[in-house]
Structure 1
């Protein structure tokens, strides 16, 4: 009886701990995806995939998503960094409540819709980056600020909550393995893919 009791006790504890981990609100994601598809159709963007980043979630959980419009579901998910703001670079100071700004030198993430542009060499991660053009007043300084989409060795492959993901200077940086998957997907697309960072 004792081993059986221990099994149920451990199972109960694990369920309780996991229940406390913040998770993506799939209904909200589907609504954002619906709005994204309408935007992409209007602008002539890619209507197969978009990238959604939910900055309302702590940085230690998966809040980066590649959304598949055809399947109406998440294709790839992972951790993603946000900007450190006034805090020291590469810490976890604002893991639950990041500051947002479009100002050059703010070292903050800027929310809004982005057009994913050309692929180029990066000094970080798997040495691939994509330029980002901010499409809204909240992020239209992205090119001037050198905000790009890249991978970073310090971004974990699995969730680290309640810890956070190390913070950079405002770029959405993902793990190396996640970037390998996303890069292979992006290279095949003939039209611009939308990235939407929302809070």
Structure 2
């Protein structure tokens, strides 16, 4: 047997065994071992300094993937109420392009807490924020100017949003200057209010059928959310 034959025979045997078993000897790639939220977060982190936590983004993407066919645009807004109101805790993300389009501070309801949002409610007149998934709807001009209606998608959790007039609007009390002076943002009656100077840009980016997710440390919500169950 020649040297060439001695090299080729084991190689041919290995390839034949691979075809018979249907298995490849190649190890799984790093990308294959990651889920969509991890891949998205890595891409966002490469381009932006401030990104959502993996915990918030993972749950947001879980709902996004279930609701994607009902949405009109690949935009996902994440609000993380585990962060204090002094931090930029609202992100508008283009899921397809894997880019953060806007990042800003956002207020919570006055009865949800002071610096931190700790209590949540779906009840009218509670003046608390509601967690969960929302679909953005139509715009209108009201007492806060240009505003955006939200429809809560989770029964018993945030489905009273329209009845409660929970909308996105601009507010002077939601500006970073207020947080610097008082140690926290001002609070709303339950609406996710954003800085006045950014409100039109925020609303125009997400209006008419995108998904918004409000995340908080609330075990009851995590256990009962119909969109986060297996």
What TM-score comes out, normalization by structure 1 length? Answer: 0.73
Equivalent pair of 2:60/2:213 in contact (CA under 8 Å): no
Runs of 4+ in 1 over 3 A off after TM superposition: 23-26, 157-162
Deviation at 1:114, TM superposition (A): 0.8
| Aligned equivalent of 1:128 | 146
Segments of structure 1 that go 5 or more residues without pairing to the other structure are 1-22, 87-92
| Aligned equivalent of 1:196 | 213
Q: Residue deviations 1:37-83, cap 9 Å, x none? A: 303324x2034212110011111101111011023232211111111
Compare CA radii of gyration and give the structure with the larger one. 2
Q: Residue deviations 1:82-108, cap 9 Å, x none? A: 11118xxxxxx6212432111111100
| Aligned equivalent of 2:90 | 64
Aligned length: 165
Equivalent pair of 2:168/2:203 in contact (CA under 8 Å): no
Q: Residue deviations 1:143-197, cap 9 Å, x none? A: 111111111111114693681110111001001222122233246xxx5111111
Counterpart pick for 2:77 among 35, 38, 51: 51
Segments of structure 2 that go 5 or more residues without pairing to the other structure are 1-49, 217-230
| Aligned equivalent of 1:41 | 68
| Aligned equivalent of 1:178 | 198
Counterpart pick for 1:141 among 160, 167, 178: 160
RMSD, aligned CA:
2.4
In the TM superposition, 1:96-111 aligns within 5 A as: 96-111=116-131
Equivalent pair of 1:83/1:170 in contact (CA under 8 Å): yes
